[in-house]
């Protein structure tokens, strides 16, 4: 009896964990995304949908769509059906301002959201959950509020259109119609349900337990009367990585019960840590990630020193066997950020066959990332306080659908 019980516990704890606060693969392996789709009950984003996006927007699909970085969805087909009929929608995404600098993984949903905003010509709301990070990261109210504004600068640097974008901090904006929706949502979720979805325990403070409605209600147009009065049926599409799915499973469960549309989602896999593809990057280990504040020298050092290589131990063996692309981080990173499809294919073919060495692949990656981070740095330096105020002003957006 005793032994059986222990085995049960062990097999449970070695399962992969993906939620907004923890991402870890089973037994230190890779995240099994097919399993996640089954477990969460979302749908796979297939080639026919990518083709449909291309047709509807008359532009090439984003690299993240072409390469399956955004791999799962919920009701994205309904958003496209409605769009085809001439109905618009709005985008909602967010950031929990827990640190001064974003890492490259954080940029992924924002780069993709910018493409969606441009391609579909739709409004966008961006939530900065300074309240969430204050409660989870033990930051003071003042510090997380300050970080929200700092992070807004990085988000603006991604190139969003101020005439279609509203960025808000929870500390500043929660109230009025937004708060009324929070209360409607909160009344529909029992403590048992919240514990089941989010893994809360009796030891968690009640601030955490009361938070999920805050992230839920930007999914409803009536939370933004200055933007969507008279458009209460507008559909919402949320781009994010799949770690945020629990919030929106809850939201979708509650929405019809309070008379609202369920938000649709388009969800990405994780940009992995330098050390390997078994989870997200860790804020507590600066060598696990490239940050938007890293210098060219930092990038070079981190990649040369820490990026996990699928190459063989010796040149002879490498020439003979080739690299294992399945576990190789430089190739994985290039799959996210090297735009040129034919160059990527060439690298994979040559490296996989052992004709190209790890050092050469790393060199190309260093060039790609240095260029990207430098571009971001310049764009961020050009973001003024007045621009932040303009994006964060509670105001109508008269030409948000044009």
181 binds ligand TYM (CB under 6 A): no
At its nearest, how many Å lie between ligand TYM and the CB of residue 74?
Answer: 13
For ligand TYM, which is the closer residue by CB, 109 or 352?
109
Could you tell me which of 330, 335, 147, 113 has the C-alpha nearest to residue 236? Answer: 113
Please tell me the distance from the alpha carbon of residue 173 to that of residue 224, in angstroms, as a whole number: 10
Tokens of 92: 């909602």
263 binds ligand TYM (CB under 6 A): no
Which residue from 153, 280, 318, 376 is in contact with ligand TYM, where contact means CB under 6 A? 280
Please tell me the distance from the alpha carbon of residue 222 to that of residue 177, in angstroms, as a whole number: 7
Binding segment for ligand TYM (CB under 6 A), chosen from 45-53, 54-62, 197-205, 264-272, is 264-272
Residue 124, classed as helix, strand or coil, is strand
Which residue from 33, 73, 109, 344 is in contact with ligand TYM, where contact means CB under 6 A? 109
241 binds ligand TYM (CB under 6 A): yes
For ligand TYM, which is the closer residue by CB, 104 or 356?
104
For ligand TYM, which is the closer residue by CB, 75 or 243?
243
At its nearest, how many Å lie between ligand TYM and the CB of residue 69?
Answer: 8
At its nearest, how many Å lie between ligand TYM and the CB of residue 133?
Answer: 7
DSSP per residue, 374-388: HHHHHHHHT--HHHH
Please tell me the distance from the alpha carbon of residue 47 to that of residue 38, in angstroms, as a whole number: 19
Q: What are phi and psi of 195, to 5 degrees?
A: -65, -40
Which residue from 57, 117, 129, 169 is in contact with ligand TYM, where contact means CB under 6 A? 129
At its nearest, how many Å lie between ligand TYM and the CB of residue 315?
Answer: 32
Which residue from 96, 212, 246, 276 is in contact with ligand TYM, where contact means CB under 6 A? 96
Binding segment for ligand TYM (CB under 6 A), chosen from 59-67, 157-165, 235-243, 251-259, is 235-243
Listed in sequence order, the residues at least 6 apart from 200 whose beta carbon sits closer than 8 Å to its beta carbon are 194, 208, 209
Cβ-proximal residue to ligand TYM, closest one: 96
245 binds ligand TYM (CB under 6 A): no
Could you tell me which of 75, 177, 167 has the C-alpha nearest to residue 113? Answer: 167
- 112 to each of 2, 159, 340, 371, 386, how far by Cα in Å? 50, 11, 17, 18, 25
Binding segment for ligand TYM (CB under 6 A), chosen from 2-10, 34-42, 89-97, 388-396, is 89-97
153 binds ligand TYM (CB under 6 A): no
In the beta sheet, which residues pair with residue 354? none
73 binds ligand TYM (CB under 6 A): no
Tokens of 364: 């190309």
124 binds ligand TYM (CB under 6 A): no
To the nearest 10°, the Cα dihedral for 61, 273, 359, 302?
120
Which residue from 25, 111, 157, 281 is in contact with ligand TYM, where contact means CB under 6 A? 281
Q: What are phi and psi of 224, to 5 degrees?
A: -130, 70
117 binds ligand TYM (CB under 6 A): no
Which residue from 131, 243, 294, 328 is in contact with ligand TYM, where contact means CB under 6 A? 243
CB-count exposure of residue 78 (10 Å: 0-12, 13-18, 19+): middle
Residues lying near ligand TYM in the complex (CB under 6 A): 20, 92-96, 105-106, 108-109, 127, 129, 132, 215, 238, 240-241, 243-244, 268, 270-271, 280-281
């Amino acid at each position: 009896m005793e032994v059986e019980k222990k085995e049960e516990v062990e097999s449970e704890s070695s399962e992969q964990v993906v939620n907004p606060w923890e991402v870890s693969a089973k037994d230190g392996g890779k995240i099994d995304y097919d399993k996640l789709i089954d477990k969460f009950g979302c749908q796979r984003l297939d080639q026919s949908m990518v083709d449909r996006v291309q047709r509807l927007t008359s532009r090439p699909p984003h690299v993240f769509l072409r390469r399956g970085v955004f791999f799962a969805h919920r009701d994205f087909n309904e958003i496209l059906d409605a769009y085809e009929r001439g109905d618009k929608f709005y985008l909602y995404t967010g950031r929990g301002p827990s640190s001064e600098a974003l890492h490259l993984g954080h940029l992924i949903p924002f780069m993709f959201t910018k493409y969606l905003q441009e391609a579909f010509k739709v409004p966008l709301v961006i939530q900065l959950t300074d309240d969430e990070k204050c409660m989870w990261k033990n930051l003071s109210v003042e510090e997380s509020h300050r970080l929200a504004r700092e992070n807004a600068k990085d988000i603006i640097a991604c190139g969003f259109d101020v005439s279609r974008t509203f960025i808000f901090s929870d500390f500043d904006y929660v109230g009025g119609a937004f708060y009324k929706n929070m209360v409607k949502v909160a009344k529909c979720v029992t403590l048992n349900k919240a514990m089941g979805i989010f893994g809360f325990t009796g030891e968690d403070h009640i601030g955490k337990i009361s938070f999920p409605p805050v992230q839920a209600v930007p999914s409803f147009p009536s939370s933004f009367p200055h933007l969507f009065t008279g458009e209460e049926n507008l559909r919402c599409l949320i781009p994010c990585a799949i770690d945020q799915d629990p919030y929106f499973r809850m939201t979708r469960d509650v929405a019809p019960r309070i008379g609202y549309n369920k938000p649709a989602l388009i969800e990405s896999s994780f940009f992995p840590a330098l050390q390997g593809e078994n989870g997200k990057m860790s804020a507590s280990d600066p060598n696990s990630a490239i940050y938007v504040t890293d210098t060219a020298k930092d990038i070079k050092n981190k990649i040369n020193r820490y990026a996990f290589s699928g190459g063989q131990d010796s040149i002879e063996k490498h020439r003979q066997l080739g690299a294992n692309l399945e576990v190789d981080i430089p190739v994985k990173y290039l799959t996210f950020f090297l735009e040129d499809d034919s160059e990527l294919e060439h690298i994979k073919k040559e490296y996989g066959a052992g004709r190209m060495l790890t050092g050469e692949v790393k060199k190309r990656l260093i060039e790609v990332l240095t260029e990207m981070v430098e571009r971001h740095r310049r764009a961020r330096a050009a973001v003024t306080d007045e621009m932040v105020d303009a994006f964060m002003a509670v105001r109508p957006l008269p030409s948000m659908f044009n």
